[in-house]
Amino acid sequence: MIHTIFFDLDNTIYSRDSGLWEAISERINLYMMDILHIRKDDIPVIRQYCRQNHGTTLQGLQSLYQIDEADFLFFVHDIDLSKILSDDGKLLKLLTSIPQKKIIFTNSDAAHVNRVLDFFGVRSYFDLIIDVLSLKPYVKPHQEAFEKALSISGLTSPDGCIFIDDMIENVEQGQKMGFLSILVGESNENIINIPDIFMLPNILESLI
């Protein structure tokens, strides 16, 4: 029986089509250019290196340049959400219909999470926020990040837990560890996938 659902935030709670993640990504590039004085042409290679070797751009930049994580997170999330996101009430309706315990499990920080959830008016529907600062020194898709998320949640096993994310490497790790893992987006892999989280009730219904 499913008792807990771990939700990613970016490109999962809100639609990938919104453009918010692209705006955050542009802010990351701007930080690297303006604060770290990295040449624009070098940024894609450095970001790819950071993600492949450290899990996130933030962790990679901390390793390479000893940046201040609080300054980085404030800078890259300094975005007017009202100019990008729109609230049609569907997320509130969805979360109201799901009785299971709901937890945000993200590589973003809690300040960004709260701003997004407050924008949609759904903060009270989540029992817990597990953010990148809670997971230190790990991030998804590190196995230790999942283990730490379970521990923070007061759980000893992923049995009865759903994990839903838009990054295939995160979903694969969750699946490997025993979560019922769902990818938001298309995949040719042997992974459950849905186009958006509004299809989640169909998954839950199929498990009854």
Per CATH, 4-14+87-206 and 20-76 having the same topology is answered no
Listed in sequence order, the residues at least 6 apart from 85 whose beta carbon sits closer than 8 Å to its beta carbon are 14, 18, 20, 116, 119, 120
Query: Domain ranges in the chain?
Result: 4-14+87-206, 20-76
SS3 87: coil
pTM attached to this predicted model? 0.95
Summarize pLDDT for 12-55 with one digit per residue, the tens.
Answer: 999 999 999 999 999 999 999 999 999 999 999 999 999 999 99
Q: Strand locations in 106-143, DSSP E?
A: 128-130
CATH of domain 4-14+87-206: 3.40.50.1000
Average pLDDT estimate for 119-137 = 97
Does the pLDDT of residue 186 top 90, yes or no? no
pLDDT per residue as tens digits for the range 153-163: 999 999 999 99
Q: What phi, psi does 173 have (nearest 5°)? A: -65, -45
Whether domain 20-76 has CATH 2.40.50: the reply is no
* pLDDT, averaged across the chain: 96
Please check the confidence at residue 112 and state whether its pLDDT lies above 90: yes
pLDDT of 208 higher than 80: no
* Ramachandran angles phi, psi of 53, nearest 5°: -105, -20
Per-residue model confidence (pLDDT) at position 40 = 96
The DSSP symbol for 142 reads -
